[in-house]
C-alpha cells in the first residue's frame, strides 16, 4: 500500500527523499500539481479545490494515507478536508505539526495543555498564502504559550526554484531575511515553512547567522511518518515509487532529476 505525497510542484520532493531514506521498505506515490503551481499566490478556495482533486486522484491509485507535503495546502485546505469527512480508511496529514512539535520540544502525540517553551521569538518564512492563513500560529497556540511569531511572506522564491534559477532564489531569500530583520531583530529560531525552502537552507542559515536555529521539514516529517507507521502497521511494501504530474511530464522529470540528483520519471496524472 503506497503512501501518497502531494505538493503543488517540486518542493515536496525534499520530503519524499527524506521519507524514502528513512523508510526504504515503504512504497510512495508522488503527485505534483505543476500545471497550477505555485499555490502560494492563490485563494484559499482555489487551493482547497486543487488539493482535493489531487487527493482523489491518489485515492484512485489505491493510496490510503496522503501527506500534504505543501505548507500552503496544509495551511489553507487540510482542516477543511478533514472536517468535511474522509472515506473509511483514508487519512490526510499535513506537515506543520511535526515542525511545531520539534520547535516546542514536545513528543509526538503529546496532547497536554499548551505551556511555555524555551524559544520565545520565532521567524516564519513561508508563501504569501501560508502567511495569510495564520495556520502556523494557530497550530502553535495548541502547544505553546508566549511565543512571538513574525511571519515573512517570501514572494518569488518558489517560482525561482521551480524554474531552476537558484541565483535569483538566493537573492530573494537574502532580501526576505533582511525584511524580517527589520521587524524582528533578534529571532531565536527560524521556521522554513515551505517544502521548497530546504533547497535554500544553507542560504537562510548564512543570512540569519549562526545564532539562529533553522528548522526545516523534510527529516522531521520523515521521522513523524515512521512513528505513525509503527502505530499503524501494514503499509510496508517493496520500496517502490511512482510520480504523477499535471504538468509536462518530460519537463517536470528533468527538473526533478536536477532536484534529487537521480533520474526521476513522471507520468501524466
Q: What is the pLDDT along the chain (269 residues), one digit of tens a residue?
A: 789 999 999 999 999 999 999 999 999 999 999 999 989 889 999 999 999 999 999 999 999 999 999 999 999 999 999 998 899 999 999 998 888 888 998 876 677 899 999 999 999 999 999 999 999 999 899 999 999 999 999 999 999 998 889 999 999 999 999 999 999 999 999 999 999 999 999 999 999 999 999 998 899 999 999 988 888 887 777 878 999 999 999 999 999 998 888 999 999 99
Asked if residue 103 and residue 90 are part of one domain, the reply reads: no
Asked if residue 102 and residue 211 are part of one domain, the reply reads: yes
Report the chain's terminal Cα–Cα distance, integer Å. 19
Asked if residue 143 and residue 37 are part of one domain, the reply reads: no
Asked if residue 101 and residue 211 are part of one domain, the reply reads: yes
Render pLDDT for 113-156 as a digit per residue (tens, 0 to 9).
999 999 999 999 999 999 999 999 998 999 999 999 999 999 99
Question: How are strands ordered across the β-sheet holding 3-7?
Answer: 91-93, 65-68, 3-7, 28-32, 241-245, 267-268
Cell 502556523 found at: 136
Q: Which of 69, 70, 157, 191 is catalytic?
A: 70
Asked if residue 230 and residue 163 are part of one domain, the reply reads: no
Give the Cα separation of 66 and 64 in Å (integer).
7
Q: What are the cell numbers at 115?
A: 505551556
* Vertex 218: Cα angle to 238 and 254 (nearest 5): 70
Q: What are the cell numbers at 130?
A: 501560508
Cell 520530503 found at: 15
Render pLDDT for 58-76 as a digit per residue (tens, 0 to 9).
999 999 999 999 999 999 9
β-pairing, 115-116 vs 144-145, is parallel
DSSP output for 183-214: H-SS-SEEEE-STTGGGGHHHHHHHH-TTSEE
Asked if residue 81 and residue 10 are part of one domain, the reply reads: yes
Render pLDDT for 144-167 as a digit per residue (tens, 0 to 9).
999 999 999 999 999 999 888 999
The CA–CA distances, whole Å, from 186 to 4, 141, 172 equal 38, 21, 20
CATH number of the domain to which 18 belongs:
3.40.50.1860
Q: Which of 5, 194, 208, 244 is catalytic?
A: 194
154 is catalytic: no
153: domain range? 97-215
Collapse the DSSP code of 12 into the 3-class scheme (helix H, G, I; strand E, B; otherwise coil) and give the result: coil
Domain count, the chain: 2
Asked if residue 222 and residue 211 are part of one domain, the reply reads: no
Give the pLDDT score at 114. Answer: 92
Amino acid at each position: 500500500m503506497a503512501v501518497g505525497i502531494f505538493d503543488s510542484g517540486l518542493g515536496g520532493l525534499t520530503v519524499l527523499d527524506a521519507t524514502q531514506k528513512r523508510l526504504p521498505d515503504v512504497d510512495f506515490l508522488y503527485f505534483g500539481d505543476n500545471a497550477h503551481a505555485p499555490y502560494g499566490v492563490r485563494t484559499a478556495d482555489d487551493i482547497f479545490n486543487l488539493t482535493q482533486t489531487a487527493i482523489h486522484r491518489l485515492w484512485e491509485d489505491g493510496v490510503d494515507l496522503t501527506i500534504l507535503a505543501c505548507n500552503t495546502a496544509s495551511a489553507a485546505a487540510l482542516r477543511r478536508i478533514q472536517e468535511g469527512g474522509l472515506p473509511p480508511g483514508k487519512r490526510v496529514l499535513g506537515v506543520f505539526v511535526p515542525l511545531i512539535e520539534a520547535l516546542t520540544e514536545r513528543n509526538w502525540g503529546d496532547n497536554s495543555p499548551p505551556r511555555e517553551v524555551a524559544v520565545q521569538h520565532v521567524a516564519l518564512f513561508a508563501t504569501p498564502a501560508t502567511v495569510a492563513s495564520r495556520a502556523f500560529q494557530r497550530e502553535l497556540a495548541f502547544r505553546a504559550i508566549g511565543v512571538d511569531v513574525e511571519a515573512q511572506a517570501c514572494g518569488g522564491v518558489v517560482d525561482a526554484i521551480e524554474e531552476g534559477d537558484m541565483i535569483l532564489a538566493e537573492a530573494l531569500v537574502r532580501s526576505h531575511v533582511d525584511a524580517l530583520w527589520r521587524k524582528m531583530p533578534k529571532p531565536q529560531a527560524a521556521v522554513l515553512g515551505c517544502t521548497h525552502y530546504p533547497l535554500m537552507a544553507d542560504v537562510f542559515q548564512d543570512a540569519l547567522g549562526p545564532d539562529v536555529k533553522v528548522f526545516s521539514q523534510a527529516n522531521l516529517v520523515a521521522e513523524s511518518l515512521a512513528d505513525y507507521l509503527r502505530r499503524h502497521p501494514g503499509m510496508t511494501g517493496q520500496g517502490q515509487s511512482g510520480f504523477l504530474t499535471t504538468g509536462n511530464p518530460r519537463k517536470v522529470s528533468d527538473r526533478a532529476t536536477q532536484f534529487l540528483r537521480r533520474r526521476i520519471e513522471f507520468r501524466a496524472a
